[in-house]
A and B are shown apart, each in its own frame.
Chain A
Amino acid sequence: MTRRAAILLGSAFVALAALAFASPRVVAADKVDPVADAKAFQNFFFQKFPNVRHEDFVNGPYSMNEDMKRQWREKEEFPPYEFALDAGKEMFATPFKNGKTYADCFPNGGIGIRQNYPYFDEKEGKVVTLELALNRCREANGEAPYSYVKDEMASLTAYMAFTSRGKPMDIKIPDDPRALAAFENGKRYFYTRRGQMNFSCASCHVQSPGERIRAEILAPALGILNAMPIYRSEWSGMGTTSRRFITCNSQTRAVPLEPQADEYRDVEYFLSYVANGLPISGPGARP
């Protein structure tokens, strides 16, 4: 028995040693390089759609052809997100019971800062999204958190996005291995196929943007979060980034995660980072 265990242990050592020798090369080949990733990601879309102006990618399916663009311009005259925007502005200005406001929780009083979210919090060691920061602000001030998917949360983020329109997405990845790991984890989530339909996020939004599923035009992944939150006719209402991820998962018959689960935070970090430089366009309207 002991001899057998020794043999097993010995072979495990040999295997480990082999791995140790092999691993430096593997690490070098698979080095996480967000700058190169973002460049390759953007170039893929710029080359696939040479006639789409770069800053137009943030308008989702409406960037994909002239007819759709016309529809978008008409929609923007009486935008369906206007109620949420007005409500969000009022909520933002209304003090909590303790007299403080949202402005006290954010840099620059929360105005014109949407392009910096999500960010990597080095104290927590995790990605912090705007939705998460808003609920933390509420809880720190003795208020109950809001639902992450719609209503008040969508109104607040609509207002914060609106005050940041046109500002280029500006996501930072600090020199911290945990930040790189979060980026890489988000990237992995984005490209992994899952659920009964066996789709990844990329199946629809990298491989097939501009194509139609039934009558609906698939949006390009590039800039898809710059428009959040969105009014979606399909939802008959507003939805946040959390809602978007959850409905994508359930529509492809995958098991959705909880809103603000680590993987959703990481995929938001990845998708936002690769859209750096493209303007914030939210709140948006989508079919």
Chain B
Amino acid sequence: MTALSWKPLLFMLAIVAGLAASPALAQSTVTDGQKLAFDRGKGNCLTCHVIKGGDLPGTIGPELKDIKAKYPDRNDLVAILFDETKRNPQSMMPPFGRNRILTEQEISAIVDFLQTL
């Protein structure tokens, strides 16, 4: 390969890197987060929570809405998903992070989705 032929490749890489930081990626983690939240084998949040866009919700947990107003700090949401029994030992909410039901990335994607509600 000559030094010259590297240039277009670097240019392409720059575009890809630019995309990663753009709203397009944020949008895709929100979509992933929604999928994970609705997936019966993953978050399965609808078993207990009413969520806009989801069918047959359960009634055990509170409706998930106005999340950004209730939890301005996303770390609070991450903590609730990781292990809510730390804060409230009586909570029925499964400790998704502690018991490895969801990975850190999956929790983060779900939090991105929750913040759009």
Partner of A208, one of B60, B85, B94, B95: B60
The count of chain A contact residues (Cβ–Cβ below 8 Å) is 13
Task: Decide: A211 and B94 in contact? CB cutoff 8 A.
Answer: no
CB proximity of A165 to chain B, nearest CB, Å: 32
Task: Decide: B101 and A196 in contact? CB cutoff 8 A.
Answer: yes
Determine if A214 is an interface residue (Cβ-Cβ < 8 Å). yes
What are the interface flags for B48-86 relative to A under an 8 Å C-beta threshold, 1 for contact and 0 otherwise?
100000001111100000000000000000000000010
Task: Decide: B94 and A214 in contact? CB cutoff 8 A.
Answer: no
Q: How many angstroms between the C-alpha atoms of A196 and B99 in the bound complex?
A: 6
Task: Decide: A196 and B60 in contact? CB cutoff 8 A.
Answer: no
CB proximity of A252 to chain B, nearest CB, Å: 9
Q: Which of B35-57 contact A (CB under 8 A)?
A: 46-48, 56-57
Task: Decide: B46 and A197 in contact? CB cutoff 8 A.
Answer: no
Q: Which of B3-57 contact A (CB under 8 A)?
A: 46-48, 56-57
Task: Decide: A213 and B58 in contact? CB cutoff 8 A.
Answer: yes
Partner of A212, one of B59, B90, B100: B59
Task: Decide: A213 and B95 in contact? CB cutoff 8 A.
Answer: no
Residues of A at the B interface (CB closer than 8 Å) are 196-199, 203-204, 207-208, 211-215
Residues of B at the A interface (CB closer than 8 Å) are 46-48, 56-60, 85, 90, 92, 94-95, 99-101
17 extra interface residue pairs, beta carbon distance < 8 Å, beyond A203-B92, A211-B60, A212-B60: A196-B94, A196-B100, A196-B101, A197-B99, A198-B94, A198-B95, A198-B99, A199-B92, A207-B92, A208-B60, A208-B92, A211-B59, A212-B58, A212-B59, A213-B58, A214-B56, A215-B56
